[in-house]
Chain A
Amino acid sequence: MSNENTQTPFYLPSGNEIKLFEHAYRHQLPVLIKGPTGCGKTRFVSYMAASLGRPLYTVACHDDLTAADLVGRHLIGSGATYWQDGPLTRAVREGAICYLDEVVEARKDTTVVLHPLTDDRRILPIERTGEKLEAPPEFMLVVSYNPGYQHAFKGMKPSTRQRFVAMRFQYPNSKLEQEVIIGETGISNEQAERLVNLANALRALKGYDLEEAASTRLLVYAATLIHSGLSMVDACRAALVEPLSDDDETIHALMEVVNATFGV
């Protein structure tokens, strides 16, 4: 959970997502972002929060995250109890943007607090204190999840899903991805082109040999290592190949792909 409010982060749009988000914000519609891991969902939200001038509360959801973690709980002080707001409550009070990352991971009881916030009532009832917060027009709820995760056993309930304006993110196209890498790390045009070429080769393996495709985030990591002086092959092994698989043979084969791209 964090409250980020610094200068606008680097973000390159790949479609109309900025406009869409702004419209949703203006009309107080909650937004659902779908997309594979490391394609820029979180970055996009922090970019939007900064450009709209709202504070951002990010909650990384996990399978033990309960409604109490979002809304708040009583804490014990000396001889008394104090109520402490959770990130969602705080965001509602301040009129901030609340971003629930990987929302499907959270426990089911969280939907109880999300539902009244995401329809036209826009209220947050806090059962334990008897409070009923009305969300100001600046408050916005953004949730994201990765539809590709099959091992999670989980999907989003249709009744929850239908309360959001949804947008789908993909890895950016080759040209844009090159610009992103260059913008993030400052490596040369030619190196960026080769990295993206390699990423596309690795992405072709998704579903056959690899569980997950190489993400833009990993590419940025690799580019960062390359920019700071590591050789391309070493950087790719550390930032692209090893994170994608644990299987020796697969790693070996992926290194062949890396060698094919960068040479030995």
Chain B
Amino acid sequence: MEEQVGQIWHRFITRLARTEYPEAVVHLDEVRRTVGILFRALGGDGGLRVEAATATHYQTRRNWLQRIAGAAQQVELAWRSTETLCLPAQLALFPETILNRELYLWLAALAAFHPDTVTQQFNWFLANQVATRDILARFPGLRSRYQRLMEATLTLRPDPAHLPPDESVRETAIQAALRDPGSINHYPIAQRQPMAVWLWLHPEPPLLTGKSQPRKDNANVDSGDSDGQSQAAREQRKKKGERTEPPDGKSGLLAFRFESLFTRAEYAKVDRTEDEEEDLAKAQDALEDMDHITVTQAEKKAAVSLRFDLDLPAQEQDDYILEGDILLPEWDWKRGELRNNYCCLQTMITKNAPAVELPQHLRRSARKLRHQFQAVAPLRSWHRHQNEGSDIDLDAWLSHTTDILCGHAQVESGLYRDFRGGNRDLACLLLADLSLSTDAWINNSARVIDIIRDSLFLFSEALHNTDDRFALYGFSSRRRDHIRFHHLKTFKQNYNAATRGRIQAIKPGYYTRMGAAIRHATNLLIKESNSQRLLLLLTDGKPNDLDHYEGRYGVEDTRHAVLQARKKGLQVFCVTIDERAEDYLPHLFGAQHYVLIRKAEDLPKTLPLLYMRLTQT
């Protein structure tokens, strides 16, 4: 009963205290693409993802209603980091939908113009004004928009006359700066933070602060976020993060502060090195509740991550290594340089995979696909009775002349012959992602890896009967020194029962160091002399690995590898089943060079057809 009353009261008072207009709400997802394109068009970095910002703690003056309701302690403001453009997940600040939408666009534009490093409050004040002024000068079309937004914002701001003197002076300055950007150079200091300025970027963006320590690449340090284990937070909001030194494990500290309660949001350097949340769901909940997360690099592996390393098979049970230690470069986008011989790749082949026939459930589809492919197989031949052609069709001409001599009036038609078709000269390398994430179930009966296996089968069946040459490889990785490149079928091998056996034997494991795999596949494919060479990548997620190879680093390295492959005259195309692929694949492959299969079950049947469409000229 008490709980219920409390809930009703909470709902009532928060609604009363709310200053937003839920009926005019605009969600980030509705405008994500538009905002992204606008940001890039106005000069923003093309590698940034557009993400929902986390609400950050904001100490400002609240009215009594808000104080009673406990509302308005946090605000969602926009900011830009080296990896992301963070915008509020939703905006309902203004009573009109159109204004909220325009605010999104304005923030994206501002972020494109905003200088990179703004640390102090004063700089924030100045930088936003300067960026606003520059933007309006370069894109005068935004002026009327800014005017509208500015007027709407000013009505939300407090009246300086009702504020204490120091805040009043500052509020006047802010309002003047909004009215005439670039006019106010001095930022008056006041005790509290000013009311959030919605037209500007975040004054203190919650970037990772504190000491960042160099990662020890080969030490036993596990990254907390890996595709295989950690689940993406349910809402894709970023958490405010901070790095700190880990406790050394020797000196424990007992802290008692009777007047305040410890909460999960505070990181106390108490030595609890061994303590770990075992219930993942509970940990997930805690993660979502917290607005400030402190991460540290523990020297010891967490139990959950430990499972991976136990996964590493013993030498004698592992796949047979065909060729070891192929050194490959990796692109470091932060340094902007290619690090030579940075990755080490092993090509391997499954040991003792028994030869198998095509699985029963695929035979029908395979037969159908074979017919389809045969029907479009181009043959190079003389086409006779053509109206235009490189040569005269003597037979046609003879009968035509005879007809005329016999007195039959004939329209001249089809007297030429032409040599056409058959100029298809194509090699395709299919590279399949075999990382541990493919172990996930997509429905009651199949895992991603099963889908990939079926796709490989049907793809091979379809191509087997054409003249197109093809090769199949799979890849996974465990840090930069152990990239596994599985031979399923090379260009020289025939497609037969042994190949099917190897396809049957693929299993998920490890991570996705995509760049290195693409580089090696490129090296294999450029050795083929065919005039058209296609590198087809089949994946279920982003590039990532145990070390620093994640987020933007992985994406940029992969992008570099793809660009290099294109430069060498290869056609690179990606097929993915990752629902979130639209966030990063356009950057990786270009908007026209990937396809997202939303219903993963369809992949096996879609892939050969997709191939057919791709390669038809």
- Interface residues of A, Cβ cutoff 8 Å to B: 63-64, 66-69, 73-74, 76, 78-79, 81, 107-108, 150-151, 153-155, 194, 197, 201-202, 204-205, 207-211, 247, 249-250, 252-254, 256-264
Whether A208 contacts B390 by the Cβ 8 Å rule is no
Given contacts A68-B390, A209-B37, is CB(A153)–CB(B591) below 8 Å? no
Which residue of A has the minimal Cβ distance to B47? A208
Distance in Å: Cβ of A146 to nearest Cβ of chain B: 14
- B174-217 Cβ-contact flags toward A at 8 Å (1 or 0): 00000000000000000000000000000000000000000000
Q: How far is the CA of A227 from the CA of B392 in the complex (A)?
A: 52
**Number of residues in B with C-beta < 8 Å to the partner?**
47
Distance in Å: Cβ of A207 to nearest Cβ of chain B: 6
Q: List 11 A-B contacts (CB under 8 A).
A: A68-B389, A73-B389, A79-B401, A150-B590, A155-B569, A208-B586, A250-B33, A250-B37, A253-B35, A253-B37, A263-B143
Whether A153 contacts B571 by the Cβ 8 Å rule is yes
- B548-586 Cβ-contact flags toward A at 8 Å (1 or 0): 000000000000000000100101000000000000001
Tell yes or no: B126 within 8 A of A by CB: no
Across the interface, which residues of B come within 8 angstroms of A79, CB to CB?
401, 404
Distance in Å: Cβ of A194 to nearest Cβ of chain B: 8
Q: How far is the CA of A74 from the CA of B36 in the complex (A)?
A: 57
Which residue of A has the minimal Cβ distance to B588? A208
The listed residue (B46, B138, B412) touching A76 by CB distance below 8 A is: B412
Whether B38 contacts A253 by the Cβ 8 Å rule is yes
Whether A254 contacts B139 by the Cβ 8 Å rule is no
Query: Which of A108, A197, A253, A263 counts the most chain B CB atoms within 10 A?
Result: A253
Whether A211 contacts B392 by the Cβ 8 Å rule is no
Tell yes or no: B391 within 8 A of A by CB: yes
Tell yes or no: B423 within 8 A of A by CB: yes
Which residue of A has the minimal Cβ distance to B587? A208
Which residue of B has the minimal Cβ distance to A256? B38
Which residue of B has the minimal Cβ distance to A255? B34
The listed residue (A76, A108, A257) touching B37 by CB distance below 8 A is: A257
Across the interface, which residues of B come within 8 angstroms of A151, CB to CB?
571, 592
Tell yes or no: B16 within 8 A of A by CB: no
Across the interface, which residues of A come within 8 angstroms of B139, CB to CB?
197, 260-261
Whether B566 contacts A74 by the Cβ 8 Å rule is no
The listed residue (A154, A155, A202, A264) touching B145 by CB distance below 8 A is: A264
- Interface residues of B, Cβ cutoff 8 Å to A: 33-38, 40-43, 46, 105, 109, 138-145, 389-392, 397, 401, 404, 412, 415-416, 418-420, 423, 531-532, 566, 569, 571, 586-587, 590-593, 617
Across the interface, which residues of A come within 8 angstroms of B531, CB to CB?
108, 153-154
Across the interface, which residues of A come within 8 angstroms of B532, CB to CB?
153-154
Which residue of A has the minimal Cβ distance to B592? A211
Distance in Å: Cβ of B251 to nearest Cβ of chain A: 51
Distance in Å: Cβ of B74 to nearest Cβ of chain A: 29
Whether B144 contacts A263 by the Cβ 8 Å rule is yes
Across the interface, which residues of A come within 8 angstroms of B145, CB to CB?
259-260, 264
Given contacts A209-B586, A260-B142, is CB(A204)–CB(B571) below 8 Å? no
Whether A211 contacts B143 by the Cβ 8 Å rule is no
Across the interface, which residues of B come within 8 angstroms of A69, CB to CB?
390
4 A-B pairs with least C-beta separation: A68-B390, A253-B37, A263-B141, A253-B34
Which residue of B has the minimal Cβ distance to A73? B390
Whether A249 contacts B569 by the Cβ 8 Å rule is no
